[in-house]
Amino acid sequence: MKFAATLALAAAAFALASPASAQSFQKPEDAIKYRQGAFRVLGAHFGALGAMAQGKAPYDAQAAAHHADVIALVSHLPFTAFAAGTEKGENTHAKPEIWTEQAKFKENAEKMQDAVAKLAAAAKTGSVDNLKAAFGPAGQTCKACHDSYREKL
Amino acid sequence: MKFAATLALAAAAFALASPASAQSFQKPEDAIKYRQGAFRVLGAHFGALGAMAQGKAPYDAQAAAHHADVIALVSHLPFTAFAAGTEKGENTHAKPEIWTEQAKFKENAEKMQDAVAKLAAAAKTGSVDNLKAAFGPAGQTCKACHDSYREKL
**Interface contact A34, partner B, CB < 8 A:** yes
- Å between B7 CA and nearest CA of chain A: 5
In this prediction, residues A112-126 reach a mean pLDDT of 97
Kind and range of the H or E element at B16? helix B2-17
- pLDDT at position B24 is 77
Query: pLDDT below 70 — which residues of chain B?
Result: 1-23
Indicate the pLDDT class of residue A2, thresholds 50, 70 and 90.
very low
- Å between B66 CA and nearest CA of chain A: 6
- pLDDT at position B10 is 56
In this prediction, residues A88-95 reach a mean pLDDT of 91
In this prediction, residues A114-140 reach a mean pLDDT of 97
What chain B holds in terms of domains, given with CATH numbers, is 2-149 (1.20.120.10)
- pLDDT at position A8 is 47
Count of C-beta atoms within a 10 Å radius of residue A4: 24
- Å between A34 CA and nearest CA of chain B: 6
Cα B87 vs. chain centroid, distance in angstroms? Answer: 20
- pLDDT at position A24 is 77
For residue B103, count CB atoms less than 10 angstroms from its CB and return exposed for 0-12, middle for 13-18, buried for 19 or more.
Answer: exposed
Higher pLDDT, A115 or A4: A115
Least confident stretch, A10-19, A101-110, A130-139, B95-104: A10-19
- pLDDT at position A23 is 65
- pLDDT at position A92 is 95
pLDDT at A1 over 90: no
Q: Give B-chain residues touching A9 at CB under 8 angstroms.
A: 6, 10
Contact yes or no for B14 and A3 at CB 8 A: yes
In this prediction, residues A97-116 reach a mean pLDDT of 97
Mean pLDDT over each residue of chain A, to the nearest integer: 88
Contact yes or no for B3 and A24 at CB 8 A: no
As for the ipTM of the complex, it is 0.85
pLDDT tens-digit profile of B84-94?
999 998 799 99
Nearest residue, CB atoms, A62 vs list B21, B23, B67: B21
Q: Give B-chain residues touching A62 at CB under 8 angstroms.
A: 17, 20-21
- pLDDT at position A69 is 95
Indicate the pLDDT class of residue A99, thresholds 50, 70 and 90.
very high
**Interface contact B9, partner A, CB < 8 A:** yes
- pLDDT at position A22 is 53
d(CA A54, CA A135): 9
Contact yes or no for A40 and B45 at CB 8 A: no
Q: Give A-chain residues touching B30 at CB under 8 angstroms.
A: 44
pLDDT at A153 over 50: yes
pLDDT at A73 over 70: yes
Query: CA angle, corner A110, sides to A104 and A116, nearest 5?
Result: 140
